[in-house]
Structure 1
């Protein structure tokens, strides 16, 4: 969860939504995101809404890891009251953070059980948790699998010790690959490894070694993200002081091309600019729910939700979040009703990043003209364009942000 929250209108104390947001509920895909904000240490590049034990010490037991699952269950029950009696089986559940697996496995299973009890879990639902490699072992993974989790995402980031050190990642090189085998042995159907490229001091060969290690582990999904230096992080401060160089855009583009070549050669197909899977079944359906504007409830401090064109966000600090629930009121701090134009623009921003692209019918006249120029420049696929869709080519994926800016005009 990003650290900054937008401005917005107040939320009723009971969390109730406008009638128009509830119209059609259940006809659209529905998922749950559960934010677990705890981390053992703070990574130097991360600006997510996370807290270490030291940072929470002054907040008392209300914000402790020991009581966190109970707080989440309380919000899940609040969600059921807000959304009413609509038949709403959950198609995807995603536990992110932070490090969800810093909590006991029984706590993660308890949260999932509450979602199942209140809403039901759809047949064939995708149920994912993120995990740090050093925070799980075979027994922990077996307990998660028995409790209903069927997908797991490990934060590998790099196979090179000096890159991990700069990122303040503390797992042992080789441990993420071992985790993939342990997850498979526990019965997990789908496994992802997250990688980061463009870290200061990383070479092309370092990046190739990380890709080779990830591919060799045999996950059915790989995410590869360029390192973004966020203001306010330790990494940003080190770069500002001149301790570390800023990696330029050309290096990021070269690393992306290296990733595409290595992953496609190994049987992984891109389906979103930063995500590759060996099969369509291996795609992250929870993220696709975000990218296609479906409905989801975000539970936990700082979590964002979206239902029927209304978006809201929770208090960021675990203590404030827990206090609201203890007082039987919503932890949501603000919300916004998205105008049709904003929803149209968001569809273009998100769907263009997908392999299926976005319908040309979403584009305004200026955007349609920009799409024609992008087509002429080789940034959009001609065959898809002829079928009425804007789909990025490989060069287009390298310039995705610029293409999107032009198309939303």
Structure 2
């Protein structure tokens, strides 16, 4: 969840949604996101809506957080009415969700199940820092209904972790994967970051190799983005660290695809690889394919039927709103059809399943033809009416989307 809230129209204190959002409710996949905004320390590159103990201030507490989130879950049920909405995916993100006791995470999940019902085989994920869990914690999570876990590994090189202000030691992520497997987690993801200042090609290859050898069934690899207002941005501005280079990032992406593909993981979204379809993150796919989701927690962004809203940012303000019987929503926007179509293009073109040619605006057809001629689109799916990115196309996905949004 980003730390800066966008502008929007005022959201009603009741949380009521427009009729257009509720139309077709239950016909689209439905998921839940739970934001846990607590961290032990703030990573130098992080721009998410997170708080250390020193930053929380009065009116917000780790101890009461689960109860507050449960209150929002009950509000969600009232707002969405009696429509049957089995929850297909639940994702706990942060921050560091595993700073809360496992019993608190399980209690929040149980409230979602009680109010909405979990669909058979629902995917239930939590993010975790490798140093924030141990075998006992993981066993309690698994017993509480979690079946997927995502560890923030970032790098296997100590000097790279130092630049990122990560707290774990290089081998801890691999050990956490083993512990999660022993606790009964079938699906385990490792998050990696490339193009950190001071990272070499050999460092990146070593991180990928360590991740693969740890045995996850899913790996996410993201290029480092230097966000304004972060400690990393300040260090770069002072000349202490170099700015990440786009050409280097492209080379690192090619290395990632080479090693991950060679190890049997296949890309299904530009930044995500999985060993098979069952290992793909179904919650993220719900986002990328236009599903509905309610996001609970401070600063969390929800989307139902083309209406997007976001909660107040600070945990104390969030708790105060709910304690007073009001929705924590800060503002919202109702997307027009053009905006919804543009978002679908931006997201679905990044998927290996591709984007239907039939949905491309006539004015964008010359850009499509150019992309095919430049080798950015796979020829065989194109003949079947789908735009699927080649490896080179994945490197230029953002530029191609801009060309198509005419």
TM-score between both structures, scaled by the size of structure 1: 0.99
Are positions 1:389 and 2:386 aligned together? yes
Inter-partner Cα distance in structure 2 for 1:23 and 1:341: 18
Give runs of ≥4 in structure 1 deviating > 2 Å. none
Q: Does residue 264 of the first structure (1) align with residue 261 of the second (2)?
A: yes
- What SS does structure 2 have at the residue aligned with 1:178? helix
How far apart, CA to CA, are the structure 1 residues paired with 2:44 and 2:244? Answer: 16
SS in 2 for 1:312: strand
CA drift at 1:366: 2.3
The match for 1:43 is 43
Unaligned regions of 5+ residues in structure 2, if any?
none
Task: Pick one of 252, 277, 280 that aligns with 2:277.
Answer: 280
Given that 1:196 and 1:224 are in contact with CA atoms closer than 8 Å, whether structure 2 keeps it comes out as: yes
Residues 192-244 of structure 1, C-alpha deviation per residue, up to 9 Å, x if partnerless? 00000000000000000000000000000000000000111111111111111
1:363, 1:408 within 8 Å by CA — same for their partners in 2?
no
Task: Within 5 Å, give how 1:101-180 maps onto structure 2.
Answer: 101-180=98-177
- What's the secondary structure of 2:73's corresponding residue? helix
Counterpart pick for 2:298 among 295, 298, 301 = 301
Q: For 2:185, what is the secondary structure of its paired residue? A: coil
Q: d(CA) in 2 for partners of 1:388 and 1:99?
A: 42
Where does residue 28 of structure 2 map in the other structure? 28
Matched residue, 1:348: 345
The equivalent of 2:246 in structure 1 is 249
Partner in structure 2 of residue 212 of structure 1: 209
Matched residue count: 406
Deviation per residue, 1:45-91 (Å, 9 max, x gap):
000000000001x32xx311000000000000000000000110100
Question: Which residue, out of 86, 91, 111, partners 1:89?
Answer: 86
Report deviation, 1:347: 0.5
Listed one character per residue, the Cα deviations across residues 260-304 of structure 1 (whole Å, up to 9, x for unaligned) are 000000000000000000010000000000001100000000000
1:363 corresponding residue in structure 2: 360
- Listed as ranges, the gaps of 5+ residues in structure 1 are none
Distance in 2 of aligned mates of 1:10 and 1:282: 39
Of residues 213, 223, 227, the one that matches 1:226 is 223
Name the CA distance, whole Å, in 1 between partners of 2:348 and 2:71: 34
Offset, 1:18: 1.0
Equivalent residue runs for 1:314-325 within 5 Å: 314-325=311-322
2:165 partner SS: coil
Partner of 1:270, secondary structure, is: strand
Decide whether the 8 Å contact of 1:195 with 1:222 is kept in 2: yes
User: Offset at 1:388?
Assistant: 1.1
Q: Summarize deviations over 1:315-337 as a string: whole Å, max 9, x none.
A: 01000100000000000010111
SS in 2 for 1:297: strand
TM-score, normalized by length of structure 2? 0.99
Give the structure 1 partner of residue 13 of structure 2: 13
| RMSD of aligned Cα (Å) | 0.7
| Aligned partners of 1:183 and 1:191 also within 8 Å | yes
d(CA) in 2 for partners of 1:346 and 1:215? Answer: 32
Q: 1:407 maps to what in 2?
A: 404
In structure 2, distance between residues paired with 1:255 and 1:173: 19
- C-alpha distance in 2, partners of 1:50/1:130? 14
Question: Once the two structures are superposed, what CA deviation does each residue of 1:83-127 show, in whole Å capped at 9, x if it has no partner?
Answer: 000110100000000000000000000100000000000001100
Q: Distance in 2 between matches of 1:324 and 1:163?
A: 41
Find the residue that maps to 1:163 and give its secondary structure: helix
Residue 4 of structure 2 is matched in structure 1 by 4
Secondary structure of 1:63's match? coil
Aligned counterparts of 2:38 and 2:50: Cα–Cα separation in 1: 6
Q: Secondary structure at the match of 2:40?
A: coil
Q: Following TM superposition, by how much is the alpha carbon of 1:378 offset from its aligned partner in structure 2, in angstroms?
A: 0.2
Q: What is the 5 A alignment of 1:70-81?
A: 70-81=67-78
